[in-house]
Structure 1
């Protein structure tokens, strides 16, 4: 067996199934570029059969990314396989990932088919996929709640039909490390042609065991782990890429394996995905959480000052955590200083993106004397995603007080260059701004979640607002930052609405049921 574990990232597919997450094509391309830079082996770019938009997004990723294999997901039905083949055909290394349920509960209540019929479906569609590409992956969905012997026989069928990777999904996060290890051993011992395929695992986190299960499978013989950045994904999420990669790296003495992940890109990748999904990283998140390398206990602080390794098993710099600016940025700082700090933080901006970010930096510098890394991350996160086809906030003016009716006037720039203005009242200044924006964009939606936090410390800190809106049965997330919290709220609402306007609904909702 190889001494390397392949890292398969499904942030662009399973990660997008997190409630409130909706990527457009540019979002997917931006994340895919960073995943390539991170050293991910396989990028699952999407599920082409879900919508024309996702088909186009997978095509775009396949056309551009050359340093990783590009996979698309397909149900074991002819239309899905054909569309997936169309989507990935221009990739340097294309993969079609076919899945089909194997548990009795799925066969009886979802597919309404018998076991023999389902085995034949799997074999036929893997063979069809093999006719398009050499690299075919198969997943027996809900494998950990299936009869193991039935899974073994299905794996033999699909390997015989041409599958080069067989993935064992813990679709509902049901298994435990010991049980999962035994399952992988069972696959190695009972699938007679398993030597022709790589064993992969795809673990969900419903019981908080996704990473532990994935690592136990690697110890048992699996050589591909399917992950998401920040552990995002359906329900409670997937195995976290950064945790899997650093566990294998930090405990090389135990696993005696490696990965191709460039760990210094982990922090940057985590922040990018958090920004584009609108899902904050919890402070106590392993590896990339704000508290991961902070020490408050006096005993711990004393030890760290004497020798870092007394209370840290990893070096924050190896994960890409910025060490803090040696250049004090403020309103007198110029382009060179700002560019140097962007380079230190790992950002690669086009000339147009840089000019927008620099303009926003100078605007912020007029409001607060010193700009730190968190401010810069916030600036870049907003400015580099400016979309010419989106509504843009041109002006907001609010009147409020304890004896006044909260009133907001909002002026938006439209995609075709027009300017729209509306004034509304509300229960508070944020509600008034929300009502004014809604009146201008003209789509029905409901604000379901609103949260605010400080990006940095101090009275002049930027405030960051995260909102979720419900529109046409789907949830969309928006994020905005500004030293004025009302402006930040308006930016966040407008970003969520722009996402709702840009995302096409799937043609077949049942397609979303997957590993």
Structure 2
């Protein structure tokens, strides 16, 4: 890279608009949407879609609720031409959906475009030509007057062909293709000239598309350009202003949102931002941003995973795992502090009947787009106590006491540091069982017990325990079941222990649900251990938890 890039690159000048209004506006409704996946997105693929792939994509766009779909550049490709014909001849286009096709300002290409659209019920013909000084000078070598005449002549031809085919409800779209770096006055001039020919009205609808063909400035400058155009275009109330932001600076979504604030009515883009170079604006992100602010986007992404899978198959391009809302890791937290905040947020949500979504780090409820909570928290070496605890709670119903969360977290971090991998749910569960033994695989298993109250208020316990070496009988007395069990163990094996912590809860809402018990015991030299027990009988669960808290390999068990 150059130490002084200004020697090679010049900044694009912003538009002077000191009384701009868009910064004080807020978005309150969804725009009109146009998917250009089948045209702009398709032409950006290393291997453009064949007709079967295009048909699958078409059906997905309909399922998502798109009412305007740019389906092809029929004069540029035989595949595109035949795809448009198939949609029309096989009556695949719903009555409330308008197909759109693109054409350059050449007479023969316009004729071919109308041949493709023969018999369509609702169709938009999209004409474009480049208008920026760079293109006028280097690409076309034409004057402003010649560029205007090109657009006007093509528009006149399109109007004539539309009037010759009255059975189709025609819509016309014109794009000064390089709008974002065209002089504002010239962009107005050429659009006014085109509109004078078309004469837009309710009976003759027109769209003016103002694309950020290549992002050359910050999104606020693009918004200024849109506002300036909307203020000064004489037929503003007779046309739909559309925007088509690309993503060269990584600002496609921001540019679209600010353009809507500045007066645009419609947004053109692709699912997950496919398109030339760095792509078009991502319509999924834009729609879900509205949704997260309580605005119905009028598009349906209730099964986001299915949408992602189909788009990946058709485009043969992966959706990034961190893509907003749609990536496999979009709602996943590995960080301990994030996991703790999310866990507390879900617990708080369980205590309220409010429909309001208020969740740390999760702008929308993953369930709304068909995602489960299983992937929200995943455990690696960066995770804290809450991550593992959340997974056990969500998948096994265990609500670990805070101190047990901390103890288990140390073991989890030691294992993930040692192996360097994310810890799966099955591995996490196996580690928990190995450490705290909540199930019959534990080395000491309670077979049966009897308890009986004594005249002095004490409780006498007799229990049989299966060990690797045989059956051991325990007998002891205490002021409760666990104190009697602790006394029995201490007496039988000359072991010093004290119960320091105890928790229990049911694993379900029904009376027949199982119970879980957690016990922390302290031993000589300040050593402490946790044990967990799960049983239909909470007393049995408590006794088993105590047995599971005892050190392994003690000679007294033999």
Counterpart pick for 2:93 among 40, 53, 65: 65
State the distance in 1 between where 2:98 and 2:271 align: 17
Which of 342, 367, 371 is equivalent to 1:321? 371
Match of 1:189 among 205, 218, 231: 231
Specify whether residues 215 and 51 from structure 1 end up closer, same or farther in structure 2 by C-alpha distance, changes over 3 A only: same
1:170 aligned counterpart, secondary structure: coil
Write the distance in 2 (CA, Å) between the matches of 1:324 and 1:301: 13
Tell me the CA shift for residue 86 of structure 1.
Answer: 2.1
| CA offset digits 1:351-402 (Å, max 9, x no partner) | xxxxxxxxxxxxxxxxxxxxxxxxxxxxxxxxxxxxxxxxxxxxxxxxxxxx
Instruction: Deviation per CA, 1:53-75: give whole Å up to 9, x if none.
Output: 21111222344121421000001
Is contact 2:256–2:267 with CA below 8 Å preserved after alignment?
A: yes
The alpha-carbon deviation at position 2 of structure 1 amounts to: 10
Q: Aligned-pair RMSD on alpha carbons?
A: 2.1
2:170 corresponds in structure 1 to 134
* Distance in structure 2 (CA, Å) of the matches to 1:213 and 1:146: 17
What are the Cα deviations for residues 25-53 of structure 1, in whole angstroms up to 9, with x where unaligned?
11111111110110112111010111222
Return the match for 2:130 from 101, 115, 123.
101
**Equivalent residue in structure 2 for 1:155, among 171, 187, 191:** 191
Mapped partners of 2:372, 2:85: distance in 1:
34
Deviation (angstroms), 1:312: 0.5
CA, structure 1 residues 50+194, in 2 after alignment: closer, same or farther (shift >3 Å)? same
CA, structure 1 residues 168+12, in 2 after alignment: closer, same or farther (shift >3 Å)? Answer: same
User: Which structure is larger by alpha-carbon Rg, 1 or 2?
Assistant: 2
The aligned residue for residue 298 of structure 1 is 336
> What SS does the corresponding residue of 2:302 show, helix, strand or coil?
helix
Partner SS state of residue 53, structure 2: helix
Unaligned runs of 5+ in 1: 326-515
Paired residues for 1:494-509 under 5 Å: none
1:259 is aligned to 2:297: yes
Instruction: Indicate whether 1:125 and 2:120 are aligned.
Output: no
Alpha-carbon distance in structure 2 between the residues aligned to 1:268 and 1:185: 38
5+ long unaligned stretches in structure 2: 1-26, 163-168, 201-205, 347-358, 376-558
Are the aligned partners of 1:155 and 1:166 in contact in 2 as well (CA < 8 Å)? yes
- Number of residue-to-residue matches in the alignment: 321
The corresponding residue for 2:144 is 115
Q: Distance in 2 between matches of 1:261 and 1:79?
A: 37
Normalised by the length of structure 2, the TM-score is 0.55
Give the structure 1 partner of residue 362 of structure 2: 312
User: Any conservation in 1 of the 2:342–2:361 contact (CA below 8 Å)?
Assistant: yes
Query: Is 1:49 matched up with 2:87?
Result: no
Give the distance between the partners of 1:248 and 1:198, measured in 2 at CA.
Answer: 20
Instruction: Give the TM-score normalised by structure 1.
Output: 0.59
Take 2:122 and 2:372, find their aligned partners in 1: how far apart are those partners? 34
CA distance in structure 1 between the partners assigned to 2:303 and 2:152 by the alignment: 39
Out of 202, 209, 220, the position equivalent to 2:251 is 209
Question: Per-residue displacement from partner, 1:85-122 (whole Å, max 9, x unpaired)?
Answer: 22233333211111011001111222222111211221
